[in-house]
Amino acid sequence: MKQTLKTLIRNVKSINGNSLAEFATTTALMATLAATAAPKLSEMSEGAKAEKSRNELDKMVKQAGQFYQDTADIEGRGRFPGQDKYDRPVTGANHGSLSSSAHELAILADLISASGGNGTYIEYRGGDGADWVSVFGKTNADFPVPSNTTLAADDDAGDCSDCPGGSSSDNGGAAPSIHTDPATGLYIAKDGHYEWKQLFGGEVVGSQYQDGHFVYQVVKGGGTGDDTYPPVLYVADIENASDFNNVLEP
């Protein structure tokens, strides 16, 4: 390295006249290129993060669609991860008792404005997060929720008597569930982040953004006979849920 530097210094000392002017011009040009390239590289980096976030949301929707089909086959009606039953929502306390239509309108207000622009949920500290549930759990070891973030409580396993794996299934047959106890073979219920992790082979998927985290809500289904309607799944990245979101309605 010392020899290389000495050689460079000798070459610079030997530059004169037109050569020196050319050297100065080249140096200035390189400095200009470096200055203009920096923001472009930053834009490319942000663009890559955005694409990755949207790709992960696409995967979640795809996996949730398979889960819906599996639960329809085994439990009798399709549901999404975290739903205690097809006719129960996944959301925060404020929206738990809303009708399906009112709940969906509240979600859409978070994601999109009446004029088609951004909704109100545009950054991770937003109060709208109180109605959204962490996909893999707020304190998961791999991608925990960022500090100062407002989110609903993590989903708990259902315990209603007629829910899949609920208390009426103690005899192993009253409420079929996609989950069974490996020791007894009886149907059991699992919480939402467990069900999501199983869809990804036990792995946790994380946002590429420092202040990102994947969240979801499920609008409950309902009805009977020919008048049934399915639940609807919404997933988002809290970096900016209005920009990064996806929906699945079977």
Question: Contact at 8 Å (CB) between 126 and 105?
Answer: no
The pLDDT confidence band at residue 9, using thresholds 50, 70 and 90, is: very low
228-245 residue pLDDT tens: 999 999 999 999 999 999
115-160 residue pLDDT tens: 889 999 999 999 999 999 999 999 999 999 999 999 999 999 877 8
Structural domain includes residue 231: yes
* Averaged pLDDT of the chain: 86
Q: Comparing C-alpha atoms, which of 143, 108, 117, 141 is closest to residue 239?
A: 143
Which has the higher per-residue pLDDT, 74 or 14? 74
| H or E segment to which residue 179 belongs | strand 179-180
What is the pLDDT, as a whole number, of residue 8? 46
Question: Contact at 8 Å (CB) between 150 and 209?
Answer: no
Burial class of residue 40, CB neighbours in 10 A (0-12, 13-18, 19+): exposed
What 3-state DSSP class applies to 247?
A: strand
What is the pLDDT, as a whole number, of residue 221? 97
CB atoms near residue 150 (< 10 Å): 16
pLDDT above 80 for 67: yes
pLDDT above 90 for 90: yes
Per-residue tokens: 10: 């000798």
Structural domain includes residue 119: yes
What is the pLDDT, as a whole number, of residue 28? 61
Structural domain includes residue 38: no
pLDDT above 90 for 167: no
Structural domain includes residue 36: no
Structural domain includes residue 234: yes
pLDDT above 60 for 248: yes
The pLDDT confidence band at residue 26, using thresholds 50, 70 and 90, is: low
What is the pLDDT, as a whole number, of residue 48? 86
Sheet with 133-134: strands ordered across = 133-134, 214-219, 232-237, 245-248
183-221 residue pLDDT tens: 888 889 999 999 999 999 999 999 999 999 999 999 999
The pLDDT confidence band at residue 166, using thresholds 50, 70 and 90, is: confident
What is the pLDDT, as a whole number, of residue 174? 58
Q: Comparing C-alpha atoms, which of 232, 129, 149, 135 is closest to residue 191?
A: 135
What is the pLDDT, as a whole number, of residue 31? 63
Question: Contact at 8 Å (CB) between 133 and 215?
Answer: yes
Q: What is the domain range of residue 80? A: 51-156+191-248
| H or E segment to which residue 237 belongs | strand 232-237
All residues at 6 or more sequence positions from 9 whose CB lies less than 8 Å from its CB, including other chains: none
Q: DSSP label at 76?
A: S
Structural domain includes residue 151: yes
For the chain, the domain total comes to: 1
Q: pLDDT exceeding 70 applies to what percent of the chain?
A: 79
Structural domain includes residue 91: yes
pLDDT above 70 for 105: yes
Length of the chain equals 250
Structural domain includes residue 87: yes
CB atoms near residue 149 (< 10 Å): 18
What 3-state DSSP class applies to 10?
A: helix
Question: Contact at 8 Å (CB) between 108 and 119?
Answer: yes
